[in-house]
Amino acid sequence: MRRKHWLIAALLMLMAGQACKEEKKQPDNRQARRGNMPIQAEGFVVRTTSLSENIEVPGTLLPFEVTEIRPEISGRVVSLHLPEGSYVKKGTLLVKLFDEDLQAQLQKLKVQLEIAEKTAERYRELLKISGISQQEVDLSELQVNNLKADIELVKVNISKTEIRAPFDGRLGLRSISPGAYISPATLITTISQTDQLKMQFSVPEKYTPEMTKGREIPFTVAGSDKRFRSTILATATTVEQNTRTLQVLTVIKDRNPLLVPGAFAKVSLQLGSNDQAIIVPTQAIIPQARSKKVVVYRNGTAAFETVATGIRDSSYVQIMDGVKPGDTVVTTALLAIQPDSKIQLIKVE
């Protein structure tokens, strides 16, 4: 039993010694930071190249025009012409409300107008032989004009009993039935202009100068890799305060069964192209509270430099000020590096 315990202890001591040897073989920047050993890191030589910032933002497809169909007056539905989901032309009669009382009033006014016009004609003849005063003639003509105005007013009220399509478009689902009594608060259906679509999306506020009217904006939709085209129609006049983004509205040029109102779109934007951009890798940038810094390798030591950044892509950032082409910036072990730390570059890109 004692021999067995002795063998187990010897085995554990052997394993511990082996682990220590392996640990000594591995470089440890923490020991280098505490002592005078240089910190091992990788570097990147600053250079100029062509750079453009590519971003993707979500968008939504919208009908070019869409509106809710509601009546202007209250009344009972006497006829319904709402082919749900069908395409209708502008001016197509969709709903007819009860108007027999208005039609009767119109006929009454027409009879009164006919009599008033004959009376006014007789008065004008009498005026020629001084059988009547000018005032009486004027009053008869005033009566004629008043009746004509009343007739036009009744015709307008009759037209309000006829609900027609405001533009060419596709009808939605109806929410009323024949015989229903409806009011201006009643939603009858919706109509959308789907032969032409728009797209709405938002971009960060720093890209506001890039969103000019007429600029072409490519996008894709779910279920297809095909790139569709649109052009900027307008932008919002102000930036959203909560999201710090600018809303953009575009007109879609293409027509495709995949392009339907309400569909999700992935908008691809190429912004801020520069053919002579000074670049560094994105991981070389150290964000500060009010600035950004990079670690520059100079004669074996680390120098922290404040930089101003510009456009960026997925790998590189444009440097506007702080470093110049030919400088070497450190891209790894940034947490271990202090000002004037000794650095040993093990790889330089």
Q: Give start-end residues of each CATH 2.40.420.20 domain in the chain.
A: 31-46+285-348
Predicted pLDDT of residue 6: 53
Phi and psi angles of residue 101, each rounded to the nearest 5 degrees, phi first: -65, -40
- Topology at the third CATH level for domain 55-64+193-273: Elongation Factor Tu (Ef-tu); domain 3 (2.40.30)
Q: Check pLDDT > 80 for residue 327.
A: yes
Q: Tens of pLDDT along 65-113?
A: 999 999 999 999 999 998 998 999 999 999 999 999 999 999 999 999 9
**Could you tell me the pTM of the whole model?**
0.61
Report CA dihedral (271, 272, 276, 281) to the nearest 10 degrees: -70
Q: Give start-end residues of each CATH 2.40.30.170 domain in the chain.
A: 55-64+193-273
- Topology at the third CATH level for domain 31-46+285-348: 2.40.420
Predicted pLDDT of residue 309: 86
The yes or no reply on domain 75-98+161-187 and CATH 2.40.50.100 is yes
Q: How confident is the model at residue 197 (pLDDT cuts 50, 70, 90)?
A: very high
Q: Give start-end residues of each CATH 2.40.50.100 domain in the chain.
A: 75-98+161-187
Render the burial of 177-194: b for 16+ CB within 10 Å, e for the rest. eeeeebeeeeebbbbbbb
Predicted pLDDT of residue 310: 81
Token pair 């009033």: residue: 105
The CATH number of 99-159, from 1.20.58, 1.10.287, 2.60.40, 1.10.150, is: 1.10.287
Q: Give start-end residues of each CATH 1.10.287 domain in the chain.
A: 99-159
> What are the tokens at 237?
């006049």
Predicted pLDDT of residue 24: 44
Nearest Cα residue to 330 out of 315, 342, 312, 313: 342
Predicted pLDDT of residue 333: 85
Amino acid making up residue 349: E
Q: Tens of pLDDT along 35-55?
A: 568 889 889 998 888 777 778
Predicted pLDDT of residue 159: 94
